[in-house]
Amino acid sequence: MLITMNGWLFDIYHIKDRIILWIKERNGSVKRLEYSWSPSIYVASDLKSELIDLVGDSKISSSIKEYRFEYKFEYPSSVTFDHRKRNESLRLTLSDSLQILNLARRIEKLSTRFGHYRLYNVDISPEQSFLYEKDLYPLGLYDIEEVRSADSARTKIYQVVNDKNDDIDSFDYIIPNFKFLSFELISERKSIGNDFRDRILKIKIISFEKDNLIKEEFSISEEDERETILEFSYEINRIDPDIILTKGGDQILFPYLLHRAKANKVENQLLVNLNRESNLEYLIKKNKLFPHKSIRSNDSSSTSYISYGKVYFKPRPFFLYGRIHIDINNSFIYKDNGLDGLAELSRVCRIPLQLASRSTIGKCLSSLYFYNAYKKDVLIPWKPITSEIFKSFSDLLKADRGGFVFESKPGAYDKVAEFDFVSLYPNIMLKKNVSSDTINCECCKSETDNKVPELEHLYHLCKKMIGIVPLSLKTVLDRRLEYKKRKNLCISKNDEYLKNCYDNRQTALKWILVTSFGYLGFSNSKFGRIDAHITVCAFARDILVKTSKIAEKHGFDVIHGIVDSIWISEVDNAEHSLFAAGTAHRYVNLKKDIEKQTGFSISFEGVYKWIVFDSSKINPGLPALNRYFGVFEDGAIKMRGIETRRHDTPQLFVNFQEELMKIMSAYNNIHEITKSLPILEGVYKKYINLICSKKISYTDLIFTKRISKESSEYADRKTIENCVLKRLTSNGKSLNAGEEIKYIITNFYNENFLERAIPIELVDEHNIRYDTKRYLELLKETYDSVTKVFYTQIPQFD
């Protein structure tokens, strides 16, 4: 074999029966490799003769390149040490990778009964299937070897093998020095509705390398729009970026740019230079998937979805080929953790970089599940059919209870310590082997030490094989723990660059762990099951109850506890000072005892000088379970659930509350804060004067709300949100469910509700009007939110 190149795999996509790989070489050049490869789907049936009949169907045979029978596990729970439980399945290799869904639907229509034809590996992208099959991963460093064969004169055959300096378990892998480009379109802006009929007047370009080192920054503005677009196309080709970074590229920039290029009859020239792929026919076909029109609520290229009770909007991705397009507005991982976090997610989950940037964390997690299932010869069901285990009504009441909560008594407390379990739910899934394929396995029925707490008669867990979910989470948990260790080492060495790198990587992995529990109970998850979800909750409740009893035996009182965190104080502060000599040793002993008796790691977060557990706004006598704020001994402020932590709070109120908290953080106890209330009142009066004197930037007054329905679906109610939506619609801009509206309150109590607020798109920066009375009312609410508890023993000022 002859090594022809060495570099990083940074882009991958499929064209019919080929897979295209782009390699970023060490010397900075980029090379295209072409594999003859097609994805496969699997079909299972109770009778082999029915599978044979299937390939004899002309409509089916016309879509496949080849077929063969293979023994696979249809169900993850079948994977035991007895490999005789593999079923004979029909593998169909497609002649065109774009036809996967069409073929699956044809087969499904031929089914005459439920379960007649069972389909697998249908909705896995060809790129992911290729990575699983070849055991490759994005941004891996590889040697590309040319394999000599009898027909090598006609066709070059390559083998991709790991470079000795990199493997999937590496923590010190290198991200190549990519070339970046970002751009902005300046148009006539005839309306706020992003009308694609507006001519492009100017295109601003920034060329830079990693760490935002700017190489070039310039604008293109020709007299003719056609020439402006052609010049932009030329500059893309000249700069030859690896990654094009945009804000709104999926929803607005690229569809708008392509529409204007088509209007000027230069679409093909633009497509060729935007992409490195030379197959123009393929690029045109892909581009036709995008509508050339204004963005409207019925645009089929976009989707709205619900996650954890919130509605989100995701525009259809605009992928490039041979380059990477990352839309910062459509990639929260890149937005929060940059290329370091995105690269870690892409590598670990074996999902292409461009796809990973737009995928939900659940989709990335699923890819990790799919890879581990593939390695265990487990087929991925197209439509999950795992049913919930039958329960009586009393069993359901007992089982479906969620996490355990110790309700706090609303109020302020001095000297409270906090302990948090480390990734408790993912660690339960790992250590207890909780997965859809391990619940009530056939092989461990008679065991006695594998029962689920409180639900012993309902559930047991497998002891003979590790499930797909815990197997996958082990990778994530181990890598995150190592990155956190390395981050702390970098802090001690004052290595800021590596510290940020490791922090971004561990934070990206954290999101997988956060999502893993919810995804375990998600009905569309291939390896999810509500019984597994219930099982994790049962273990978590048992652990928190044990923890509270251990704390009480150590002489502490439980002030508050929720799911995986607990707050404690001394039982008798009169007899024992929490900060007396030996107190730190007591916390160490408590931590060790909790970990020994529960089997799970817990972190000592520290001791609060003071902490406030807030009350419900509806019923002040009840606690608000997840709303609290306080200050640790080292001065660190922790806030949860208050206005500063809310994404919809205007910056004015965020600044105000943060200023209050900074002042309060200097005091050592509740008594000192109460004595210093006049200082806080002075800050409050300062902000009153700012509002009344109109000395506030309009950007600090903006409210942000995510809408849960299409603009046209809102009932005719006189709400602020409806006012904003109607004003936007009348100016040519309709929104999709999950998109955000931003507005300023102008006349909150006006009988004409359309005058109550103004969208920021319609704001005149030189003539800002806002409702002083309403903003003062909200300022008072923001002030009370963090100070009312300290006024309980003194008269409230006017």
Contact 543, 597 (CB under 8 A): no
pLDDT digits (tens, 9 = 90+) for 326-382: 999 999 899 999 999 999 999 999 999 999 999 989 899 999 999 999 999 999 999
Among candidates 548, 543, 517, which has minimal Cα distance to 530? Answer: 517
- Between CA 674 and CA 245 the distance in angstroms is 50
Task: Kindly give, in sequence order, each residue whose CB lies less than 8 Å from that of residue 110, ignoring residues fewer than 6 positions away.
Answer: 54, 57, 116, 117
State how far the alpha carbon of 768 is from the alpha carbons of 506, 585, 762, 772, in Å.
Answer: 43, 59, 11, 12
In this predicted structure, what is the pLDDT of residue 491? 87
Which H helix or E strand runs over 584? helix 583-598
- Using DSSP, state whether 500 is helix, strand or coil: helix
- Average pLDDT for 302-330: 79
Lowest-confidence range among 27-31, 149-153, 548-552, 756-760? 149-153
Q: For residues 116-146, b (16+ Cβ closer than 10 Å) or e, as one string? A: ebbbbbbbbbbbbbbbbeeebbbbbbbbbbe
Is the pLDDT score of 447 beyond 60? yes
CA 114, 118, 121 angle in degrees (round to 5)? 145
Task: Say what the pTM is.
Answer: 0.89
Rounded to the nearest 10°, the torsion over CA 130, 135, 138, 139 is -150
- Between CA 251 and CA 333 the distance in angstroms is 18
pLDDT band at 80 (very low <50, low <70, confident <90, very high): low
Amino acid at 551: A
In this predicted structure, what is the pLDDT of residue 51? 92
- Average pLDDT for 53-62: 88
pLDDT band at 787 (very low <50, low <70, confident <90, very high): very high
**496-520 vs 468-493: helix axis angle to the nearest 10?**
160
- Between CA 186 and CA 774 the distance in angstroms is 36
Structural domains in the chain, sorted by start? 2-36+140-162 (no CATH), 40-134 (3.30.70), 179-349 (3.30.420.10), 405-641 (3.90.1600.10), 642-798 (1.10.132.60)
Among candidates 649, 738, 752, 728, which has minimal Cα distance to 299? Answer: 738
Lowest-confidence range among 40-44, 77-81, 548-552, 711-715? 77-81
In this predicted structure, what is the pLDDT of residue 301? 52
pLDDT band at 397 (very low <50, low <70, confident <90, very high): confident
Q: Output the six-digit token pair for 115.
A: 């379960």
In this predicted structure, what is the pLDDT of residue 191? 58
φ, ψ at 534 (rounded to 5°)? -60, -40
The alpha-helical segments, DSSP class H, found in 99-249 are 100-110, 126-134, 225-239
- Average pLDDT for 107-132: 92
Mean pLDDT of the chain: 88
- Between CA 707 and CA 219 the distance in angstroms is 36
Is the pLDDT score of 192 beyond 90? no
Sheet with strand 118-120: strands edge to edge: 64-72, 87-94, 40-44, 118-120
CA 484, 490, 494 angle in degrees (round to 5)? 145
Among candidates 106, 49, 192, which has minimal Cα distance to 735? Answer: 192
Contact 72, 42 (CB under 8 A): yes
pLDDT band at 160 (very low <50, low <70, confident <90, very high): confident
